[in-house]
Structures are given as structure tokens and as C-alpha cells.
Structure 1
Amino acid sequence: MSGKTPESGLRLRVRDVDVVAPNFKKRLSGVTSTIVQLVPEQSKTLAIATLGPGLPDTLPKLRWWQVPGLLRKPANRPFRIWHARRNPEMLAGVVLRDVFRAPLKLVFTSASQREHTRWTQFLIRRMDRVVATSRKSAGYLKVESRVIMHGIDTHRFSPALSPEAGAVAVGLPDEKRYVGCFGRVRHQKGTDLFVDAMIALLPDRPGWSAIIAGQATGPHIGFERELRERVRAAGLADRVHFVGTRPQIPAWYQALSLFMAPQRWEGFGLTPLEAMASGVPVVATDVGAFSEQLEGSGAGILVPVDDLDAMIAAAACYMDDEKRRSVAASAALQHARSRFPLEGEANALNALYEDLWHEAST
């Protein structure tokens, strides 16, 4: 690359920024999490900056008042790249490029696994490059795309010395094994399926307990309340732990011996990768990119969506067989580190940008 990479947390000159990663949603989401993890890795070799609310100050960032500077060419490139991940960000890029004649090329990443609306299709057709986060996502696009799957920070997510040590680190008794379900607490995420599986499994397995990490918001608060009551009625209130949102979530993965991803729908879904990178085997439903994440890994079992019996049986396979669980844990760690390192995703995206710049120079 040419020029200097933007430094985290410092005010940047627009002329020094070659790639803009807009984030127009203030509330934390999977897309926001992707940007927060990716941009620092990309910025090691690329002049990239974020734009928008809801992002930590440690990221290289442009301010709103600097947006007019995007109408001029960057100092070191023939044009700037605007990498959108949502409709409003695609629209902003189209307006900047086509209305205000900003020297921009537009890239869009799609994780969706459903038919796009006409409006979304209209915007996608105006992109210069389209990225799909899985083969399934690519199948819903009506334009040419490049599959670049999300990666995981294998330094941030890594195994503890043992699950017992991991449990002690987060304040849990170390005489138990723990099975976890992490993410927002809501019907779409299948939290109720996890609870029902635990109600079926835990009474006959006194050495195991469960952890539900995640927040219920707005209309989903009542859903969580019902789940807590279901657990209490089953006599498991002291063994199914609702721990809420935890800022140090990697430490909670380290306390687990098994992870379950019971989603009914998902765009991509990072939690199985986070578990695998922590050396934890996975039981996951066949949604999002879970099948492609587990493909050929030996790291877990894929079950049909909304199939509680299959989920219970798969979890029991690991909970009742320490050797099988240990083999799967080792396979999970190796698979995450070899196939899904965050730097692999960052390098693939940076290579896509370089392709665009190279085309302009030939």
C-alpha cells in the first residue's frame, strides 16, 4: 500500500484515508461487531477509517464534518473505497458517488439468507463489488459476488488451561461442566430450545450446569421472564445461569465444555466460531453459515432447525462421552485457527480493494 495507515483514536485527515467503513447504526449488532473486529486488523496494512456512531474511540475514525472531504481524491489512490454493509450505507455511497460525483468505488457485504427486497436489489446493482459471507448468502444474490467468510480473533478467543480453570475465572464452581448458549435472548435465537434441552438433559447429569449469556430487550423481556419461570418450575434455577451481557465474553467461553447454537434464523452467526476458537465443541442448527463453519471439521454436530429431540440427542453425545468431547474440542480449535483467522478475512477484503485499484491503473 501507499501512504500511512490511520492510527487508532487519532483525528485523521480525509486525504490520507483510502477506505471508509461506514456504520450508521448506533445499537450494537452483528454488523457493528464485525466492523469493530475487522478494522483494526485491516488497518495494519491499509489506510482505512470508520464513519458513524456506536463505535469505540480506539478505531481510526472520520467525523461527520469531514464528509465533504470525500468529494476530493485521496492523496495516494485514484479513488476511495466505500465499504457498506447495510442499505442506508449503500444509499449514502450511491448519493456521494452518483449525485455529488465523489471519487468512490462501492463495495457491499451481504450476510442475508433470504430474498432481497426490490429496494435492496436496486442498491446492490449499483455496487462495484459485492461480497457474500457464505455460499448460502451468495445464492440469494442476483449479481456476481465473491465469498469471503467472517473470521475470528484467535488471540482474543482462545482456550483456558482447562474448563475448570475457566469456570473459576468467571466465578463459577469448578466441580461442574458447563454447556453454554450465548447471544441475544429471543425466540429467533432459539433460547427457549436451549432451555428445554437443558430441562431434559440436566436432571440425569448432576455434573453439568448451563450458562445463558446475553440480553433480552424490549418485547423480548417477557420471553426471558417466561424462560426463567420454566427453569424454576423444573427445579433447575441453581443450575441454569442467566448471566446477562458480559463484557469479557471470551472468558465465559473458556468456562464451557460444550456450546449450543439453537438459532431458528441467522445471517452468518459468529458464536460457533468463537466457541471453536476457545476449544469448545459445538451443537448447532442448520441456519446461517453454521454448516459451512463446521464443514469437514469434526468440531461438532449439525441438527435440523427447531428439532428439539435432535438437539437433545446431539448434546447428550458430548455430555456423556468425555473422550468424544475431547477429540471434538481439539478439532474445533485446530479448525478455527486454520480456516477462520480474522487476519484471513482482513487480507481477503484488502485484496479485493487492491483489485479495484489495480483495474483503474491498467
Structure 2
Amino acid sequence: MRATPEQISQTDEVELIIGNSNSNFSGVTSTMLQVMSQQRGMINLKIMGKHFLPDPSLAISFWQTALMCRKPLKSGKWRIFHARRVDEMIQGVILKYIFRAKIKLVFSSAAQRHRSGSTLWLTRRMDGVIAVSNRSATYLADPPAMINPHGVQITDYVPAKDKLHAWKELGFGGKYGIGILGRVRKQKGVHLFVEACIQLLDKHPDFNAVIVGAISGSNKELVNQWKSQIEQAGLSQRIHFTDELPFEKIPPIFSTLSLVCALSDNEGFGLTVLEAMSSGAAVLATQAGAWEDIIRPGIDGYIVPVNDQAAVTEKMDLLLSDPEKLLTMGQTGRLRVEQQYGVEHEAQRLVDYFRSLQ
């Protein structure tokens, strides 16, 4: 039986320090918090940085970390310092090589770009490097110790018991809902989604679309152009922009959708696909992030090349042509997430790897 966080914190020394250097909330922050919520029942931990913590007692400062890690654990083993950002690697290197902290350094790499010379140097100071996808592993100079994909809180993202009724209750019209969620900008492939909907919704009258996400000032002119195109096509009542919504409203929208599109040019990992699949939606995604690792074409949805309007439209047409197949894809996707991509699986794999390093 897994111990509770309270039982662990009362009986064990701190074995894991997690980097938390960014004062701006990001996808990395979200991942760290979700995984940490599971790890608390597996290993005694502290978080170096106070940003966005649900429990302030988890926070530890750089200087407190340096002091605590002057000596190893009572067992003689060294603590683990887990970095997910370059500046956290810098913190770890300073702790270990300047302050002589008795720590093993681990870096999780999500970036899908070739690293600079300084980042490569930092990466080679790590005791272990983890890639979050097969694609991100190809951008590392040396093979990673393991590939550990992110997971999702499957209790937060659940299918609506009756998707058609739940979609109707949202008030966007239509019998079925399709959507794209995230920041509303070209890099996220929103233009591909809009154009595909303009071409296809008259052919598929039971489907309406929703575009969920913040619109920055620099993208307002572009979004206005899309809205103008939608209006000219006579689809203003069928393609809806919600603008930014509070987080608590996002999972309920996911739960109603029959199809979610994720059409980014690039992603570090891209949790949107897992959130959609966990919510029982079929997915149409580009060859970005970890999506090729996750989606089984024709089973959970389809993968298309990046920035390929024809391919997006073709596959969306195929998906909208068979609502029953959409439902089946959503069900198989949910099962896949339950079996392989729950955040608890990600957390356990990390802890097992940390134990192997100590």
C-alpha cells in the first residue's frame, strides 16, 4: 500500500528535490505539479521554488537545499535533484560542483530543437537525462537513460456520460461538438482548423465547432481575419470563439467534444491530445510533440503532416462522416490513456529511475 504524503514526511528524510524556477505558469509547471501530486505518496520530496505550490510547506530555498545536501542521506545514498528547465540545470550544477552538494542530477528534456553549446555542456553534467518522447530523444546529443512520456490526471478529464446532451447544454448549437483548445494563434494551427471547418461544416450539418483559448493583442488582427472569413461563409453561428476561460471550465468542454484537433507546428510534448483522449474524444493531430507516439491512426484518430491544409481537411472530412466511429475512437482512446498515460504511471517510472541512481 502506498504511504500518504503525511506518513512519508514524518518518517523519512527528503530524498528528492524538484526544480521550480519559473514565476510564470507554464506547461512545464503544470506537468511538475501533476506529477508531484502523485510522487508525494511515493518518495519524500521538497520543491526548490515557491511558485504555484498547493502546499507552501513543500517549498525549499536554494540555500536550504545547499545546507541540507552537504551530507548524504543516513543510508549513505545521495539525494536526487530533478530539473526540467535549463536554468534548473544551472542551479543543480552550482549546487553539486560549487557547493559540493551530495546530489545526483537528472534532467527531463522535452525540447524538439538542437541544443546550444552551453546547454549541451550542462546536459553532460547530468547523472541522468530523460526524454519525454521519441522525437525529443532525437534532439539529444547522447541517448537518454529512458523515455518517460507525460501523463494526465484521468480523474480530471473524463467523458461526459451523455456527450450529445452535455454539448447541447454548452449552447454552441449542433448535435456534435468539435474543437481546438490552446492559445489562439497560427503556430497552434488554428488557421488550419478554421479553414477545414469552413470547407466541411455545410457538408456535415450536425457538427458545430468551438475554438477555446486566449487571444493575445498581437494575434487579434489575425483572429479578426478568421472571423471575417467565417462570417463570409455564413458560419458565424456554427464556429465559436470563447476567448480565455478559467481552468475549471476547460475539462467540462473537453468532456463534451466528439473530436479534438491539435494542429501545432511544434510542441515540447503536447498534453492536449492526452486530455482529449482521456475525455473520450477522437483526435486529429500533427506530427508534433509526442503525438505520433500516442495516437494509433485509425484507432484513436489520425496524424497529419505539419501545416498541411489538404491533409487536415481530408482527415477531418473522414472523421465527421462517421459519428459512430468517432464515438468508438473516443472510447478506445480513453482506455489507452487509462492503461498507459495516467500521471501516476509517469510519476512511478520517475521514482523507480531515481531509486536506481541512488
TM-score (norm 1): 0.89
The answer to whether the 8 Å contact 1:50/1:59 transfers is: no
Aligned partner letter, 1:61: L
State whether structure 2 residue 28 is matched by structure 1 residue 31. yes
State whether structure 2 residue 39 is matched by structure 1 residue 42. yes
The answer to whether the 8 Å contact 1:49/1:59 transfers is: no
Q: CA deviation at 1:188?
A: 1.5
1:220 equivalent in structure 2: 219
Aligned partner letter, 1:286: Q
Q: 1:107 to 1:239 in 2, by over 3 A?
A: same
The answer to whether the 8 Å contact 1:107/1:129 transfers is: yes
Separation in structure 1 between the aligned mates of residue 116 and residue 319 of structure 2, nearest angstrom: 41
- Paired residue secondary structure (1:343): helix
2:15 equivalent in structure 1: 18
Aligned partner letter, 1:352: Y
Q: 1:225 to 1:99 in 2, by over 3 A?
A: farther
- Deviations along 1:296-319, whole A, 9 cap, x unmatched? 771001111111111111111121
Aligned partner letter, 1:148: N
Separation in structure 2 between the aligned mates of residue 168 and residue 66 of structure 1, nearest angstrom: 53
Q: CA deviation at 1:7?
A: 8.6
State whether structure 2 residue 298 is matched by structure 1 residue 300. no
- Deviations along 1:210-269, whole A, 9 cap, x unmatched? 111111335334333333333233332222221123312111101101111111111111
Higher mean alpha-carbon deviation, 253-262 vs 157-166, is at: 157-166
Q: Which structure 2 residue ranges, 5 or more long, are not aligned?
A: none
- Paired residue secondary structure (1:354): helix
- Paired residue secondary structure (1:120): helix
- Deviations along 1:28-66, whole A, 9 cap, x unmatched? 221111012110011111112222254233476214363
The answer to whether the 8 Å contact 2:50/2:56 transfers is: no
Q: Map of 1:108-187 to 2, 5 A cutoff?
A: 108-145=107-144, 146-168=146-168, 171-173=170-172, 175-187=174-186
- Deviations along 1:57-95, whole A, 9 cap, x unmatched? 347621436344344336556222111111100001000
2:315 equivalent in structure 1: 314
Moved >6 Å (runs of 4+): 1-4
Separation in structure 2 between the aligned mates of residue 80 and residue 3 of structure 1, nearest angstrom: 20
Backbone CA RMSD of aligned residues: 2.6
- Deviations along 1:181-213, whole A, 9 cap, x unmatched? 011122211111111111111233222111111
Aligned partner letter, 1:120: T
Separation in structure 2 between the aligned mates of residue 2 and residue 162 of structure 1, nearest angstrom: 34
Separation in structure 2 between the aligned mates of residue 106 and residue 56 of structure 1, nearest angstrom: 22
1:231 equivalent in structure 2: 230
TM-score (norm 2): 0.90
Q: 1:7 to 1:269 in 2, by over 3 A?
A: farther
Aligned partner letter, 2:24: R
2:325 equivalent in structure 1: 324
The answer to whether the 8 Å contact 2:196/2:313 transfers is: yes
- Paired residue secondary structure (1:203): coil
- Paired residue secondary structure (1:204): coil
Aligned partner letter, 1:341: G
Separation in structure 1 between the aligned mates of residue 7 and residue 233 of structure 2, nearest angstrom: 53
1:360 equivalent in structure 2: none
2:193 equivalent in structure 1: 194
The answer to whether the 8 Å contact 1:195/1:227 transfers is: yes
Separation in structure 2 between the aligned mates of residue 66 and residue 164 of structure 1, nearest angstrom: 53
The number of residues matched between the two structures is: 352
Q: 1:73 to 1:111 in 2, by over 3 A?
A: same
